[in-house]
Amino acid sequence: MDLEYSEEHRAYREAVLEFLKGWPLQGEEANLPEAEREALFRQRGIDAGYVYRNVPKKYGGAGEPADPLRDAIVREEFFRVGAPWDLLNQGAGMLVPTLLEFGTEEQKRRFIPKALTGAERWCQGYSEPGSGSDLASLQCRAELDGDEFVINGQKIWTSNANEAHWMFGLFRTEPQARKHAGISYLLVDMSTPGVEVRPLREMTGGSEFNEVFFNDARVPVTNRVGEAGGGWAVSRATLIHERNLIGNPNMMRDCFEDLLTLARKTQRGGRPAIEDPHIRQRLIEIEGYVRTVETSNMLQFSATVRGDALKAMRPMMMNKLYSTDTMQRIQRCAYDLLDGEGMLAPSAEDITGWGRNTSSTGWVEAYLFSLGPAIAGGASNIQLNIIGERGYGLPRDARPPEKT
Amino acid sequence: MDLEYSEEHRAYREAVLEFLKGWPLQGEEANLPEAEREALFRQRGIDAGYVYRNVPKKYGGAGEPADPLRDAIVREEFFRVGAPWDLLNQGAGMLVPTLLEFGTEEQKRRFIPKALTGAERWCQGYSEPGSGSDLASLQCRAELDGDEFVINGQKIWTSNANEAHWMFGLFRTEPQARKHAGISYLLVDMSTPGVEVRPLREMTGGSEFNEVFFNDARVPVTNRVGEAGGGWAVSRATLIHERNLIGNPNMMRDCFEDLLTLARKTQRGGRPAIEDPHIRQRLIEIEGYVRTVETSNMLQFSATVRGDALKAMRPMMMNKLYSTDTMQRIQRCAYDLLDGEGMLAPSAEDITGWGRNTSSTGWVEAYLFSLGPAIAGGASNIQLNIIGERGYGLPRDARPPEKT
Amino acid sequence: MEFGLSEEQDLLQETVRQFVSEQCPPTQLHAIFDAGEGHAPALWQGVAELGLCGLMLPEEYGGADLEVLDLALVCEELAYGGLPGPFMMHSLAAHAIARAGDSDQRGRHLPALADGSAIATLALAEGEGAWRPEFWSTRSEGGVLHGTKRFVPHADLSDWIVVGLSDGRLALVEKGAAGLTVVPEEGIDRTRPIGRLEFEGTPCEVLEGDGAVLERIGDVGLTLLAADAFGSASRLIDLAVEYTKTREQFGRKVAEFQAVKHQLARLALEIEPTRALFWYAAHAVDHRPDEGPRSAALAKSHISDRAIQAGREVVELHGGIGFTWECDVHLWLKRIMFDRAFLGTPESLRERCAELEGW
Amino acid sequence: MEFGLSEEQDLLQETVRQFVSEQCPPTQLHAIFDAGEGHAPALWQGVAELGLCGLMLPEEYGGADLEVLDLALVCEELAYGGLPGPFMMHSLAAHAIARAGDSDQRGRHLPALADGSAIATLALAEGEGAWRPEFWSTRSEGGVLHGTKRFVPHADLSDWIVVGLSDGRLALVEKGAAGLTVVPEEGIDRTRPIGRLEFEGTPCEVLEGDGAVLERIGDVGLTLLAADAFGSASRLIDLAVEYTKTREQFGRKVAEFQAVKHQLARLALEIEPTRALFWYAAHAVDHRPDEGPRSAALAKSHISDRAIQAGREVVELHGGIGFTWECDVHLWLKRIMFDRAFLGTPESLRERCAELEGW
């Protein structure tokens, strides 16, 4: 065990820091519009081998050999100065890895570069009103008609659908096949006639999610990724990428620090709440969970770097539930610290989801958000099944036969 | 709503108090051995109409008309002075009500009077090693051979079996019948050849329970209560009586008072723990549960008195789980109050189960006891099924077909 | 010796439940919630016609002269139905005038409050949630008020505002009085919107009664909030039962999954038995003065805390849909969030219970 | 940059696990537990032969010169196997002598402690559980000790006792010294029996080191206890997994009931990720002095609290049989009860974490 970096990696960090002296942009460039500044610097980062390190050059990445430690150093330093780095949206974060694994050469060339620059924004079309935790029961049909699919049905919980150019999603292309086997993974241009986006309103007052309706929307058959009816396997791979986006320990630490700030600001019996023995007990108990997330993350990271990920399999499959549970503990504690201001509604600026919380109403929003669909019943029950069955070899539930 | 008693019931209480001046016994009688003094006074209580109020006279009870309020007044006042009242053991508390409902006239005359005086002590033979929460899967066989049953098999968790004269229990008399239908309710003389009692040792260090082994033990067919193969229904009725023995709010209040005493005695940062804001929060949170038990008990009692028990059906089916949960909260809090003394083992005097706790090691015992079989997994899962299914009309689990 | 409801009380609850379910079905409730005024004149009139507005007021002023328990039972049912409007605060404010006012004040104000033609509210909290006079600075000097009150329900709707003073007395301010500014605060429970009141030399009538009336209003209020939280949580449980019995996943009803069924049962277990807790508090506030204040604080802290947790789990049991604005669940969750904070959080009330016990 | 175990550490854990599972199967563990001495010479000899007794002692005295992490990994495995005996306290006491003793003392004592031919223990607590010197009264005057220590593990077995003094230093007392009375206390964890020591003018050697050694022993001890609780809880989970996969009720394996499976999964979720927490504490105690004390206190409080809860639930998952003396479950539950209290309860350590952070 050694928490210091090797000489090689220290040197690499030096190089990264040297490169980062170029951000923020100086001189003429500093006057460019924000989006252009970011795009410019991101491209420099790609060229220098720091951004999209593992995406091949021919698709617009840096094409560097895999080195999770270098990844971590770059991420750490880019974040420290707020420099534009890999986009973490659904295009670069989820679609690109999927295409790299399952896409045709043509699909890769067509879609990856623009997803990486953000020139084309993507949304994810998985959930449907009738299929929540039971994702594979989805009903949105895509019927083959010549060399096009004709899509009818509905998706829900589609974040950013209102500003996305494209959707990747699962559609039932072979209704006669068994449940998991009749699904294909398609790429849908959101400007296709017959595609309509309607924002959902959440109980927080925010509108982070949308419904997407399909009414005879036509998609070329070349937009299918992977085999016909093989979409389930493709999406599983994508979900693994999604899981890597969740449970970021830095976000957790920030959230905990915000809680401490609240506990310093709030009064209990004429003193800051952080001096109250009851609150101290709760805070340290929560910190135990936060530190567990942080250190377990280090453990998993090191195991992955060593190619020993199997050893960290159990904590890895626990990450999602453990992180959301921990976030909920933080948010519940903050909410409990609020007195009368716990009766106030979040304002528009408070609607930040997992973002930083600095006001009472921000914490009310965070509390409500913590009840949200990311962690809702079905989802956590499915996580528990995974842990019990795959992690500890417990038997599956007795289930009714699958519908065909 | 009126928490005062009516004039009639106030007068009744006066009469009870007058009667109780006869306890403790005076003069010559005060010198009798304890058991004789108790038996003597209990008989006077029966004759005066205060003890075994609802058991007919011909079986040794007082034969008074049902009046739960009078019951409550008598119980309250007898307990206040510690006078001998209805025995609350398994004979008087469980067997007698069952025999009154299902027994033959001969069984009633033979067994009830001696169960009431305690001249014959009873134990309950339901649980078996292979059938915990799934009671009806019991395997202990009683095969008819002429006019006798021949019993082979084993019972477990039999409290007081080592000092009981008789056992009432469930035995599989018709192995070919479907699960619940092949069971009979039999009365077994514990001195029958082939009956052997072995004490179990519990993790508390105590030995409250026993295993009972049957090896060709012969029981006359006249000792069957209810129909052949009808024992399941008979036992259900008995379980209702048992449930009434559990969740006594006085016991809960005593236990909570003991917790407060501990919190006054224990130090936190140089002050009594009861002055520590963290401990105060926990104590009052627990008191919320204790007061809920107490007041809900009053509500259920009043509804029963009015013949309106159906209205209180939901809280009634919650009693057992709610009470054991609340006791567990008390015991866990007490255990958390212990510092180094939480490492000490209970001594023989500490082994009181639900009894009063005055020492650190008494609380360690109480903590361990709270983990015991009364509340163990299967049991609480079954209670949750009952609440969900009967209380709120939720569907039953998908189950495999019953074995025949 | 009877710890149960009278036939009249059963009937009262049935009547109110039927009224709310008929007059304020979820579609209408959503509409009122979205509009944000937390009030619908027709509903208020219905409440008034049922004779609920003066439930605890003396008969001579048109009231029904009933007890805290009756009022709590009504609050439970209104909460179960989710009824928006000023009912609870109106009842508390009117009760304050009945207890603290002189006969002239009672005669002038109570008849209109009893028949619902005038609406009253209660202005107590200061700062971030100081609910007791020792932490207030609002004072009456020479017949005019100075100070700021927060979290005042239906502040701009009410004809009369009962204001708590730092000396423990109460004062009465009329709607639109000089030097009175009403600043809406965006409340989470849109069925009971709140505002901040600023008094700068605002004319007022000081009510005669001493601090005991304020204490009593607090105890009654805590009891009603406990009843409200109980009714709301009961509704949430019923919503979850209904939903999980209908919704299918993996080819069966969600409620058939043992984990779901047990979660629901545990949830019900935390709520259902506490009915007796608020009944007892209501009874004690009227009939057992030694126990009243502590029983009320205990009931409010216990039930509102359990109800908040019930809210979170019922959202969870609804899956994604429970997170949406159009789903019914958040209406009751937010109602409970109001109940939890008003007159003091569970944590602060538990500390108060400990103090009252002399710990 | 590597937060993982070396090949040597992996091998060390494997070796220890194999040793315990072969040499101390549950039947033997039960027998030792019942006998109550918490010690079996053959097992101790086996531990010694593996070179574990001097794991952290300097090589020149026959030790292996390893780190807190290595020791913690051994403690995890010994706990997983439930091994009775003085290993943890012996290691701490020997480490104390190595750190605080002068070269003469080290030379005289360490070789025998490193090869296990002598056994040492640690006498710290006073009163009901005061683990820090500011609350102690035991003192050395003119080379003799006065005072009383409680909860001393393997008090009558140990050849040497390292005693904490009220001035923060440590003293060394030999078994059977004059004026030393050992009063057994009936401990809950019969694999590590405890006693009360009374010193009345007992001759002792005061060790040179200052209070820093005592602090370090405390930090190392907290880390080892965290590892012990983690290993014990892991074993309990494995016991529950095994039992629920085998036991049938209602015609199916208990683990097929979703409520049971989810309870087990939640339980594992509370324990498994905390492995990294005690690893980090162990590393920090050696390499990050600013973070060491707080990391150790946090790991011990967090893991032992979760482990106690795991114990309760694993009893529950076993049904009635889990409540019996003959079942394996209580052996590990009681081991955790020791871990929870020794060197301070979770609550007291959380308060200490808050203080160390300057809150």
User: What residues of D are in contact with residue B272 (Cβ under 8 Å)?
Assistant: none
Contact by Cβ (8 Å): C115, C68: no
Residues A202 and A275 in one domain: no
Contact by Cβ (8 Å): C84, C192: yes
The band of A398, judged by pLDDT with boundaries at 50, 70 and 90, is low
Residues A387 and A255 in one domain: yes
In a domain, B218, yes or no: yes
Query: Looking at the DSSP assignment, which residues form a beta bridge with residue D145?
Result: D140, D202
- Nearest by CB to A202, which of C312, C324, C347? C324
Confirm or reject CATH 1.20.140.10 for domain D212-356, answering yes or no: yes
The band of D311, judged by pLDDT with boundaries at 50, 70 and 90, is very high
> With a cut of 50, which residues of chain C have pLDDT below it?
none
- Nearest by CB to D279, which of A284, A295, A306? A295
Q: What's the pLDDT at B159?
A: 87
Record: contact B1-C279, CB cut-off 8 A: yes
Kindly report the pTM of this predicted structure. 0.94
Provide mean pLDDT across the span B131-150.
90
**Catalytic residue chosen out of the listed positions B196, B202, B242, B287:** B242
Angle between helices C292-317 and C211-246 (to 10 degrees): 20
Contact by Cβ (8 Å): B349, D138: no
Q: What's the pLDDT at A256?
A: 96
CA distance B133 to B386: 13
Min Cα distance C354 → chain D (Å) is 20
CB count in 10 Å sphere of residue D1: 16
Provide mean pLDDT across the span A224-253.
77
pLDDT digits (tens, 9 = 90+) for D105-140: 999 999 999 999 999 999 999 999 999 999 999 999
- Nearest by CB to B278, which of A277, A398, A400? A277
- Position B400 pLDDT exceeds 60: no
Lowest mean pLDDT among A56-70, A272-286, B348-362, C25-39: B348-362
- Position A381 pLDDT exceeds 90: no
pLDDT digits (tens, 9 = 90+) for B226-278: 999 999 999 887 666 555 544 567 788 999 999 999 999 999 888 999 999 99
The band of A241, judged by pLDDT with boundaries at 50, 70 and 90, is low
Question: Could you check whether D120-210 and D212-356 share the same CATH topology?
Answer: no
Residue of A nearest to B281 (CA): A278
Residue of D nearest to C261 (CA): D259
Among D298, D144, D289, smallest CA distance to D223 is for D298
Residues A320 and A339 in one domain: yes
CB-based contact (8 Å) between B403 and chain D? yes
Record: contact A400-B400, CB cut-off 8 A: no
Q: What's the pLDDT at B374?
A: 57
Provide mean pLDDT across the span B60-73.
91
Record: contact A205-C325, CB cut-off 8 A: yes
> Checking DSSP bridges between strand A210-220 and strand A166-172, what pairing results, if any?
unpaired
User: What residues of B are in contact with residue A268 (Cβ under 8 Å)?
Assistant: 277
> For the purposes of burial, counting CB atoms within 10 Å of the CB of B251, is it exposed (0-12), middle (13-18) or buried (19 or more)?
middle
Q: What CATH number does residue B146 fall under? A: 2.40.110.10
CB-based contact (8 Å) between D316 and chain C? no
Domain finish residue from A206, A237, A268: A237
- Nearest by CB to D276, which of A287, A298, A308? A298
Contact by Cβ (8 Å): B84, B46: no
User: What residues of C are in contact with residue B389 (Cβ under 8 Å)?
Assistant: 261
User: What residues of B are in contact with residue A269 (Cβ under 8 Å)?
Assistant: 277
Q: Which residues of A are catalytic?
A: 242
User: What residues of C are in contact with residue A376 (Cβ under 8 Å)?
Assistant: 315-316, 318-320, 322-323
- Nearest by CB to D4, which of A306, A381, A397? A306
CA distance B379 to D320: 9
- Position B348 pLDDT exceeds 90: no
Residues A223 and A251 in one domain: no
Domain finish residue from B237, B268, B301: B237
Range list of H helices, C86-210: 87-100, 103-114
Residue of C nearest to A401 (CA): C251
In a domain, A340, yes or no: yes
Instruction: Compute the mean pLDDT over every residue in chain D, rounded to the nearest whole number.
Output: 96
In a domain, B328, yes or no: yes
User: What residues of C are in contact with residue D244 (Cβ under 8 Å)?
Assistant: none
Q: What's the pLDDT at B404?
A: 36
Record: contact A284-D237, CB cut-off 8 A: no
Query: Looking at the DSSP assignment, which residues form a beta bridge with residue C123?
Result: C163
Record: contact B5-C1, CB cut-off 8 A: yes
Beta carbons within 8 Å of C152's beta carbon, 6+ residues apart: C121, C122, C123, C125, C161, C194, C195, C196, C197
DSSP class of residue A93 equals I
Q: Which of residues 280-299 of A touch D (CB under 8 A)?
A: 280-281, 283-285, 287-289, 291-293, 295-299
Cis status of the peptide bond prior to B24, with omega within 30 of 0: yes
- Position A397 pLDDT exceeds 80: no
D7-114 has which CATH code?
1.10.540.10
The band of B373, judged by pLDDT with boundaries at 50, 70 and 90, is low
In a domain, B161, yes or no: yes
CA distance C203 to C141: 10
Residues B153 and B210 in one domain: yes
Provide mean pLDDT across the span D51-70.
97
Residues A318 and A290 in one domain: yes
Interface test with B, best of A281, A284, A333, A399 (most B CBs within 10 A): A281
Provide mean pLDDT across the span A77-81.
92
Beta carbons within 8 Å of B192's beta carbon, 6+ residues apart: B217, B218, B219
- Position B394 pLDDT exceeds 80: yes
In a domain, A271, yes or no: yes
* Subunits adjacent to chain D (3 or more Cβ pairs under 8 Å): A, B, C
Provide mean pLDDT across the span D44-71.
97
- Nearest by CB to A278, which of B269, B278, B399? B278
Q: What's the pLDDT at B246?
A: 47
Instruction: Compute the mean pLDDT over every residue in chain B, rounded to the nearest whole number.
Output: 90
Range list of H helices, C120-257: 211-246
Interface test with A, best of B275, B278, B283, B337 (most A CBs within 10 A): B278
In a domain, A117, yes or no: no
Record: contact D186-B376, CB cut-off 8 A: no
Residues A322 and A362 in one domain: yes
Among C44, C220, C212, C203, smallest CA distance to C122 is for C220
The band of B336, judged by pLDDT with boundaries at 50, 70 and 90, is very high
pLDDT digits (tens, 9 = 90+) for A334-359: 999 999 999 999 998 888 777 788 89
CA distance D293 to D223: 9
Min Cα distance C235 → chain D (Å) is 25
pLDDT digits (tens, 9 = 90+) for C24-43: 999 999 999 999 999 999 99
User: What residues of D are in contact with residue C258 (Cβ under 8 Å)?
Assistant: 257-259
D120-210 has which CATH code?
2.40.110.10
DSSP class of residue B132 equals S
Percentage of chain D lying above the pLDDT 90 cut: 94
Instruction: Compute the mean pLDDT over every residue in chain C, rounded to the nearest whole number.
Output: 96
CB-based contact (8 Å) between D259 and chain C? yes
Residue of A nearest to C343 (CA): A340
Q: What's the pLDDT at B46?
A: 97
User: What residues of C are in contact with residue B306 (Cβ under 8 Å)?
Assistant: 2, 4
Place of tokens 């994810």: A124
* Domain boundaries along the sequence of chain D: 7-114, 120-210, 212-356
Contact by Cβ (8 Å): B61, B42: no
- Nearest by CB to C128, which of A336, A339, A379? A339
Min Cα distance A354 → chain C (Å) is 15
The band of A198, judged by pLDDT with boundaries at 50, 70 and 90, is very high
- Position A403 pLDDT exceeds 50: no
In a domain, B92, yes or no: no
Q: What's the pLDDT at A402?
A: 43
The band of B402, judged by pLDDT with boundaries at 50, 70 and 90, is very low
Q: What's the pLDDT at A370?
A: 87
Q: What's the pLDDT at B185?
A: 96
The band of A250, judged by pLDDT with boundaries at 50, 70 and 90, is confident
Backbone angles phi, psi at D171, to 5 degrees: -130, 160
State ipTM.
Answer: 0.94
Backbone angles phi, psi at C249, to 5 degrees: -145, 145
CA distance A167 to A122: 5
In a domain, B287, yes or no: yes
Q: What's the pLDDT at D355?
A: 97
Q: What's the pLDDT at B137?
A: 87
Q: What's the pLDDT at B68?
A: 84
CA distance B108 to C347: 56
Q: What's the pLDDT at A399?
A: 56
Residues B357 and B288 in one domain: yes
Beta strands in C10-143 (DSSP E): 120-123, 139-141
CA distance C84 to D240: 50
Residues B374 and B272 in one domain: yes
User: What residues of C are in contact with residue D259 (Cβ under 8 Å)?
Assistant: 258-259, 262
User: What residues of D are in contact with residue A314 (Cβ under 8 Å)?
Assistant: 268, 272
Contact by Cβ (8 Å): C95, C114: no
Residues B308 and B380 in one domain: yes
Record: contact A3-D288, CB cut-off 8 A: yes
Number of inter-chain CB pairs under 8 A, A vs B: 19
Domain containing residue B44: 7-86
Residues B35 and B162 in one domain: no
- Position A238 pLDDT exceeds 70: no
Record: contact D269-A392, CB cut-off 8 A: no
C-alpha torsion angle, residues A130, A136, A138, A139 (rounded to 10) = -130
* Subunits adjacent to chain A (3 or more Cβ pairs under 8 Å): B, C, D
Provide mean pLDDT across the span D222-249.
96
**Could you give the C-alpha distances from C181 to C39, C170, C174, C175, C184, in angstroms and in order?**
21, 19, 12, 10, 10
Q: What's the pLDDT at B251?
A: 83
Min Cα distance C258 → chain D (Å) is 6
Residue of B nearest to D347 (CA): B336
- Position A243 pLDDT exceeds 60: no
Tokens of D262: 């989810």
- Position A375 pLDDT exceeds 90: no
Residues A186 and A228 in one domain: yes
* Subunits adjacent to chain C (3 or more Cβ pairs under 8 Å): A, B, D
CB-based contact (8 Å) between C245 and chain D? no
pLDDT digits (tens, 9 = 90+) for B32-58: 999 999 999 999 999 999 999 999 999
CA distance C260 to A114: 44
User: What residues of A are in contact with residue B269 (Cβ under 8 Å)?
Assistant: 277
How many distinct structural domains can be found in chain B? 3
